[in-house]
Amino acid sequence: MASAQRVSVIVPGSDTDLGHFDRSVDPLRSPAGMARALRAEEQRQSPGTRTAVIAWTGYVTPVGLGPDAVTSRLANAAAPRLLRLLDGLKLTSSPVAPPALLCHSYGSVVCGTIAPELRGPTTDMVVLGSPGMGVQSAAELGTGVHVWATRNPTDWIGDVPYLEVGGLGHGADPTSADFGAEEISSAGAAGHVGYFTDGTASLHNFAAIALGGYQSVTYRTN
């Protein structure tokens, strides 16, 4: 970690705790499986770059689609913990750019909560399968982040209403044209947990962004 040139942090969503940190069956449903897939792709794209990927499970996540999944309560509690992790990385590592944040599902609500607190060099923040980031546009997240977003057509999260009323919901769809994020391709990915599958455009793009290889990022085409 201390010698890594590029660092990434996976911020997972619902139903993630230490008991589900790593799964032998369907490993890409777990933060550890996502992290392994991302680092392997980074090594394929840039074998000479020293990389580190952190699978972060430092907060209490919502269970299923219960009431916690549609409010920001747990995201608000998680935000100081994620900020402490990032502050710790500033002291224990010295990558060439701030750690890239890959925020899956409810994890994107957490990332949206911390975004206005990020200062200094721009942080790449990738949201995938997002229910919203708690805002109506990327501009509300501040100038410290560059937001990338993706959602594949078979992801059920796209059927969830993108709104915020009376504290319920998480705001606008990050993949909508009006939001202001860069919408990247997730071709080949299937379902809500398929974004880190080998050979998908999403996994390729996540690694390219984490490595700073923006020229090889592919965008969604309609």
38-66 confidence digits (pLDDT tens): 999 999 999 999 999 999 998 988 887 77
Taking only the tens place, the pLDDT of each residue in 128-186 is 999 999 999 999 999 999 999 999 999 999 998 887 776 787 999 999 999 999 999 99
Q: Which domains are present in the chain?
A: 6-213 (3.40.50.1820)
The residues with which 182 forms a beta bridge, in sequence order, are: 148
| CA dist., res. 173 & res. 178, Å (int) | 9
Mean pLDDT of the chain: 92
Phi, psi at residue 181, to the nearest 5°?
A: -85, 160
For range 207-211, the mean pLDDT: 98
Is residue 86 classed as helix, strand or coil in its secondary structure?
helix
Residue that has been written with the tokens 């925020």 in this structure: 103
The answer to whether 12 and 59 are in contact (CB under 8 A) is: no
| CA dist., res. 59 & res. 61, Å (int) | 6
